[in-house]
């Protein structure tokens, strides 16, 4: 069925198609009855099957398949997305201040490569506004919900040497709503951002964010929220070793590998006229898996693997590489909602058969 819907959607501008699809999904699942029926129809009763879940960085995930940040930047569609069976949903990237992002067009499909190219530029409503929306949504939530991750990034107009204060501002607004928090320093679409992946600036940044995490948790009388770092796929081994060292020193709960790539190697699509941006989807499958495998050889920290996951064999290979959880984004655009069921079921078969 999704293949029929995808054809007309792919005739539209990608960003417009995404907005229309999400609004339609929200409208169709606006009642509790349709929400529950959809979960049942798509075999998304994972909370009743604890063997499919995982206990990672102190949290109980109903299953190991999540939705990556970037799909629901402003926490507008948490409830309808939850009906599709994700074990966890990561919203954002959210910045300290609201910002429109880069000029349109800024999102492009590369169907020959089963990929996307984007230079969105962290377009979002800002941390204060997203916090208000989360407060309203979660206060009215009835029934099971996925684990909620919140991904935070730097506001474009904030100078790089003031980045920590901007991340801290977001954390203050959003801390109480997150099951886990992600520091995004790996998007290629905010000028200079990836410089924060270097050892010294990263250590300073994460140190200040972690300090605020502990402060906010102390005020609420709860343990500090698991703090994760999302990294780029374009890092050499030495940079990965530095990141692992910093992650240990700053007591991070885990790593997310990987974000989009700036590499255009081996693409079937001529992207020379599309401009700058990060590539996601199939072209990332090998590199993201390699990064996960390298990281697993360096650290016991939990890893969320993301990049090029379309089919059950992709998610299983990511787990084999060392990931504890996986996330989808571009594959979800190409494969549709039933993709989640297939990935979760693949994990179920492996558990039952020992393969």
Q: Which residues are catalytic?
A: 187
To the question of whether residue 92 is assigned a binding role by annotation, the answer is: no
Closest CA to 314 of 338, 346, 279, 291: 346
Query: Residue 112 annotated as binding?
Result: no
Q: Crossing angle of helices 338-353/312-321, nearest 10°?
A: 50
Check the annotation: does 61 bind a ligand: no
184 is in an annotated binding site: yes
Is 102 annotated in a binding site? The answer is no
Distance between CA atoms of residues 355 and 351, nearest Å: 7
CB 315 within 8 A of CB 343: yes
Is 72 annotated in some ligand binding site? yes
**Residue 43 Ramachandran class (φ > 0 left, ψ -120 to 50 alpha, else beta):** left
Residues 6+ apart with CB under 8 A from 273: none
Cis peptide bond upstream of 191, omega within 30: no
Annotated binding residue at 70? yes
Q: Does the annotation flag 213 for ligand binding?
A: no
Give the helix/strand (H/E) hosting 54: strand 54-56
Bridge partners, 327 (sequence order): 66, 306
- Measured CA to CA, the distance from residue 159 to residue 148 in angstroms comes to 29
Tokens for 134, please give them. Answer: 């989360």
Tell whether 258 is in a known binding site.
yes
Tokens of 170: 């977001």
Element (H, E) at 291: helix 285-298
Q: Cis ω on the peptide bond leading into residue 148 (within 30° of 0)? A: no
User: What residue numbers does the annotated binding site cover?
Assistant: 69-73, 93, 118-122, 151, 184, 189, 230, 258-260, 281, 308
User: What residue numbers does the annotated binding site for substrate cover?
Assistant: 73, 118-122, 184, 189, 259-260
User: What residue numbers does the annotated binding site for FMN cover?
Assistant: 69-73, 93, 151, 184, 230, 258, 281, 308
């Amino acid at each position: 069925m999704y293949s029929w819907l995808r054809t007309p959607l792919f005739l539209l501008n990608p960003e417009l198609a995404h907005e229309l699809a999400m609004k339609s999904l929200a409208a169709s699942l606006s009642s509790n009855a349709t929400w529950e029926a959809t979960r049942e129809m798509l075999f998304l009763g994972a909370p009743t099957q604890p063997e499919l879940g995982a206990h990672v960085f102190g949290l109980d995930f109903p299953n190991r398949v999540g939705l990556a940040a970037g799909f629901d930047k402003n926490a507008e569609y948490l409830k309808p997305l939850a009906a599709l069976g994700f074990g966890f949903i990561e919203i954002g990237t959210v910045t300290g201040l609201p910002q429109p992002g880069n000029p349109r067009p800024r999102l492009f499909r590369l169907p020959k490569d089963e990929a996307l190219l984007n230079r969105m530029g962290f377009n979002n409503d800002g941390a204060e506004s997203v916090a208000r929306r989360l407060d309203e949504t979660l206060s009215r939530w009835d029934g099971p919900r996925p684990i909620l991750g919140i991904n935070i990034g730097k506001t474009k107009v904030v100078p790089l040497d003031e980045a920590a204060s901007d991340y801290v501002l977001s954390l203050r607004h959003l801390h109480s709503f997150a099951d886990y928090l992600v520091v995004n320093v790996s998007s290629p679409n905010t000028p200079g951002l990836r410089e924060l992946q270097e050892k010294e600036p990263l250590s300073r940044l994460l140190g200040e964010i972690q300090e605020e995490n502990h402060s906010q948790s102390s005020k609420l009388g709860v343990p500090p929220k698991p703090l994760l770092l999302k990294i780029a796929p374009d890092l050499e081994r030495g940079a990965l070793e530095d990141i692992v060292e910093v992650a240990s020193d700053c007591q991070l709960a885990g790593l997310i590998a990987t974000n989009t790539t700036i590499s255009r190697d081996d693409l079937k699509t001529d992207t020379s006229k599309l401009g700058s941006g990060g590539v996601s989807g199939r072209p990332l499958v090998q590199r993201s898996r390699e990064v996960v495998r390298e990281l697993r050889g360096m650290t016991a920290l939990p890893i969320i693997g993301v990049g090029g996951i379309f089919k059950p064999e992709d998610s299983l290979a990511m787990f084999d590489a060392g990931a504890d959880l996986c996330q989808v984004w571009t594959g979800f655009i190409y494969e549709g909602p039933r993709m989640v069921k297939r990935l979760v079921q693949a994990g179920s078969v492996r558990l039952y058969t020992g393969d």
